[in-house]
Amino acid sequence: MDYWILAGTIGLILALAVGAVFSLVETALSSLSAARVETLVKDERPGSRRLAKVMAHRAEHINLLVLLRTLCEVTGTALMAAVFVEAFGLHVWSLIAAIVLTALINFVIIGVLSRTLGRQNPYSVSLAAAPFLLGVNRVFGFLARGLVRAGSVLSPGRGFRDGPFASELELREMVDIATEHGIVETDERRMIQSVFDLTNTTARAVMVPRTEMVWIEDTKSAGQATSLCVRSGLSRLPVIGEDVDDIVGIVYLKDLVAQTYHDQDAGRRTPVTEVMRKPSFVPDSRLLTDLLEDMQRDQVHLTMLVDEYGAVAGLISIEDILEEIVGEISDEYDADEDLPIEDLGDGRYRVSSRLSLDELEELFREQRYEGVHHGEQRDSSRGEFGNGEASYEERGGEGSREDRSWVPERATEIEFSEEQHDQADTVAGLGALELGKVPMPGAEITTAGLHLVFEGGHNKRGRYIVKSAVVSRVAPGEEPDAEDSAEAAAQSGSGEANPRRDDSAPRPAVGQNGEGD
C-alpha cells in the first residue's frame, strides 16, 4: 500500500511539474512579437533562428502545448484520486477531496505561477524551449494541425487557418520597432498609433463642448445665419429653440447661399428654420470608429452629442475625428487660432487647456524617439517631429546618431495615475483636481513628473479663465514636497498674474448668436 501511495505521489508531482513547464512555454510563446523575433534573428541572438521556425507555425505549437498541458492535468487528477483511494478507501468524499485539491494545485502552479513567469520572461523562455518544440512538432505535428482545423470548423463564423494569435499589441510593437530603426517617421508612427487609439476613444474626448459652440436662434433670419457663418468661418451651425439644450436643426452655409444669393434683401426676411436641416443626436460615449461609420453612412458632417441625462454636451464633426488621426487641420479661417501644442524650446511646451491627459503623456513619451534620425527637429505647429535643418549635434547630441544619451530618459516617468485619469480628462481638469478648485492664470502645479504653469485671461463673456498651460519635465529629485504643493495651491488662483496670451481674436464669442446683423 505504501509503495503505491509513494509511486502515485511521485507521479503526481512529475505530472504537475511537466504541466507547469508546458503552461510556462505556452504563455511565453503566446506573448511573443513576430517583429521582435525577426530583430533577434538579425542581431544573431543564439537560438533565434530556431525560435523563428517555431513562430512560423506558432498556432500548431501552441495547440500542441495546450494538449500536452491538458494531458498532464488529467493525469495529475487521476493520480491524486488513486492516492486518496489507496490511503483513505473508496469513498465519495475522498474522490471529491482529491478533485478539489488537484484543482487548487493546478490553479496555483499551472494557472498562476507558470503563466506569470512566462509573461515576465517570454523571449528567454521561448529561446530555451525552441529546440524541444521543434522536436515534439516533428512527432505530433499532424495532431496539432488537425486540432487547428477542428477548432476552426467548430468556431462560429469563419475560422483562422493559422490560429487567431495576431493581435493589435503586436502591430503596435512592430510600428515602434520600425520607428526606432528609422523605417517609419515619427509623425507616421503617431498617425498609425492614432488609428489604433480611435477604437478606444469616445466622442466626448474630442467634441467641441457646449460652452464653445457657435449657434444661432430659430428666430433669426437666413441672412443673419449667413453673416454669422462668414464671421465665424464655420460652414455649419446648430439652430436652437428655447435654449442650447433645444437643438431644432442644423443650418448649412451652402443651403444659405443657395437660398439668399438671388434675394434682394439677402435673405433677411427668410426664417432660418426654412433653410435648416434635421439634426442628428448620438450619445457622447459613442466610440469614434462607430461614430465615423455612422456619419459616413448617413452623409452627415456634423452631429450633436448628448450626455447621460439627455442634455447637449457638445457637437462633433468629421473633421474633429480625422484630426485625431492626422493632427490639427487648419484652413484659412483657422490661421489665428491657438495651436493645441506649441514648442517653446528647451523642453517646454504651451498646450491648450483642452488637451487630453493621454495626448500630454504621448507628447513627452515621444521624446524618446527624438534623435533617432540625423537632422530631425520638432514641428512647432503640432509638437511632432519632422525633417529639419538642425543636426543631431546642434540639438545637444554627442557622438554618433545612435547615441541617444542626451534624450531625457532618466528623467521622471511621465504617467498620470489611474485616479487622475478617472477624475480628469483635460489639462484644465488636471489643474482643478490637483488644486482642489478651478485653476486661474498664474497657478502652478507639479504632478506625474511635469510642472504646469497655467495661462489665460478674460474671454468674450468677461470671464477670467485658463486657456493654456506651459508644461515642462521635472528633473528627478525636483518634485516639491507636500508642504510646498499646499502653499502653491493656496497662493494660486488669485488672478494677479498677467496672462501671457492675447485675448483678442477675430472669431466670434463662444455661444454667440446672430444678433446685430
DSSP per-residue letters across 425-440 = SBHHHHHHHHHSS---
pLDDT at site 100? 87
Cα–Cα distances (Å) from 467 to 45, 205, 295, 346, in that order, read 52, 17, 30, 22
If asked whether residues 242 and 108 sit together in one domain, one would say no
**Residue 250 placed within a domain:** yes
Q: Does a structural domain hold residue 20?
A: yes
Evaluate whether residue 46 is within a structural domain: yes
What is the per-residue DSSP string for 358-393? HHHHHHHHGGGGTTSSTTEEEETTTTEEEE-S--TT
Would 181 be classed as within a structural domain? no
Instruction: State the pLDDT at residue 99.
Output: 85
Asked if 79 and 210 sit in the same domain, the reply is no
CATH of the domain at 433: 3.30.465.10
Q: Are residues 418 and 402 in the same domain?
A: no
CATH code of the domain containing 208: 3.10.580.10
Asked if residue 226 is part of any domain, the answer here is yes
Instruction: Say if CB 453 and CB 463 are below 8 A apart.
Output: no
User: Which pLDDT score, from 0 to 100, does residue 480 have?
Assistant: 53
Same domain, 289 and 349: no
In this prediction, residue 316 carries a pLDDT of 94
In a shared domain, residues 361 and 486:
yes
DSSP state letters, 53-121: HHHHTHHHHHHHHHHHHHHHHHHHHHHHHHHHHHHH-S-HHHHHHHHHHHHHHIIIIIIIIHHHHHHHS
By CB atoms closer than 10 A (0-12, 13-18, 19+), residue 405 is: exposed
171 falls within a domain:
no
Q: Does residue 27 sit in the same domain as residue 154?
A: yes
Q: Which of 119, 145, 166 lies at the terminal end of a domain, its last residue?
A: 166
Residues 156 and 262 occupy one common structural domain = no
d(CA 65, CA 133): 9
Count how many domains the chain has: 4
Residue 327 and residue 354 in one domain: no
Provide the residue range defining the domain that includes 423.
341-370+411-491
pTM, rounded to two decimals = 0.50
Residue 459: inside a domain: yes
Q: Do 24 and 153 lie in a common domain?
A: yes
Residue 25 falls within a domain, yes or no? Answer: yes
- Whether residues 240 and 310 fall in one domain: yes
* 35 and 160 assigned to the same domain: yes
Residue-by-residue pLDDT tens, the chain, 517 positions: 577 778 878 888 898 899 899 999 988 888 887 778 888 888 888 888 888 888 887 777 887 888 888 888 888 888 888 888 877 777 788 788 888 888 888 888 888 888 899 888 888 898 999 998 888 888 877 776 776 677 666 666 555 555 554 455 566 777 777 777 777 777 777 788 778 778 888 899 889 888 888 899 999 999 999 999 988 888 999 999 999 999 999 999 999 998 888 777 777 888 999 999 999 999 999 999 899 999 999 999 999 999 999 999 999 999 889 888 877 766 655 545 566 788 888 889 999 888 888 888 888 876 654 443 433 333 333 333 333 333 333 333 333 333 333 344 444 567 888 888 888 888 988 998 999 888 888 899 999 889 999 998 766 555 677 889 999 988 765 555 444 444 444 444 443 333 333 333 333 433 444 443 4
* Torsion from C-alpha of 362, 364, 368, 370, nearest 10 degrees: 100
Among 218, 201, 27, 199, which residue's Cα sits nearest to residue 129? 27
* Together in a domain, 31 and 122: yes
**Residue 350 burial (C-beta neighbours within 10 Å; 0-12, 13-18, 19+):** buried
> Pick from 350, 382, 406: which residue ends a domain?
406
Query: What b/e readout covers 16-44, taking b as 16+ CB neighbours within 10 angstroms?
Result: bebbbbbbbbbbbbbbbbbbbbeebeeee
| Residue 220 φ then ψ, to 5° | -85, 170
